[in-house]
Copies of this chain bind each other. A is one copy, B any other.
Amino acid sequence: MRHNGSMNARAAITPRPSIAITRSERKRQTREALLEAALELLEDRSFGSLSLREVARSAGIVPTGFYRHFDGMEELGLALVDESFRTLRQMIRSARAGRQDTTNAIRASVAILVRHVHEHRLHFRFIARERSSGVPALRRAIHNEIRLFSSELAIDLARMPFLGDWSSEDLHMVSGLLVDTMVSTAEAILDAAPDDPAAEREIVRMAEKRLLLIALGVPRWRPSTAASGGERGERRADGPS
């Protein structure tokens, strides 16, 4: 509620700057400026190639000022990872909650993911690149966020009556597969030309079909399918029989 657009805020501030912008608010703004400057510099570069000095300069502060906000570049990178995932998880969760049918839950989840990728394109480009990049702390943080996603989904799945007899490992297996499909969808959206809505519609359609195919396999899965050596699963998987 504090932000009514930057123009209004500035107009209100001008007469009494020392009152309207508190010190902590100014600090928050500089922190934001550093994060934004880093994200923009990262559009076509890897995080490992970015220097603290560049980020500070681009945000309009002196390099020593950087340390009032972050211990170093790694902490800034971790804050970007955190920003990228924070809202997405809540949104996908709310898309699933309360939906009785799989197809609609799939559609809603894919739609939210796509919208989110568009709205936070630079964040997702950063995530897509650093997920397998050379900065171990970031790689780990991103993997943990994705695993957290997958665990939350596994918990939701565990509550579904027809998954009551699934082992925890198998629930994680299917949630991991669903989340990986979402990750590769997000990456395909990023790689598609931004001015090609037909390509994007195809990515969305394929994502929905993939998720639906996985959902169709679920009722045929038996906890023993893989553990027993697969003799049963193998016949079941081979055709409509």
Contacts and interface: CB of A to CB of B under 8 A. Distances in A.
A189 to B, nearest CB: 13
A228 B210 CA distance: 16
A98 interface: no
A94 interface: no
Chain A facing B: main interface SS: helix
A176 to B, nearest CB: 7
A161 B48 CA distance: 50
Interface string A210-224: 101111111111000
Interface string A154-193: 0000001110000001101110110011011001000100
Integer count of this chain's copies in the complex: 2
A102 B200 CA distance: 32
A29 interface: no
A184 B181 CA distance: 10
Interface string A26-38: 0000000000000
A209 interface: yes
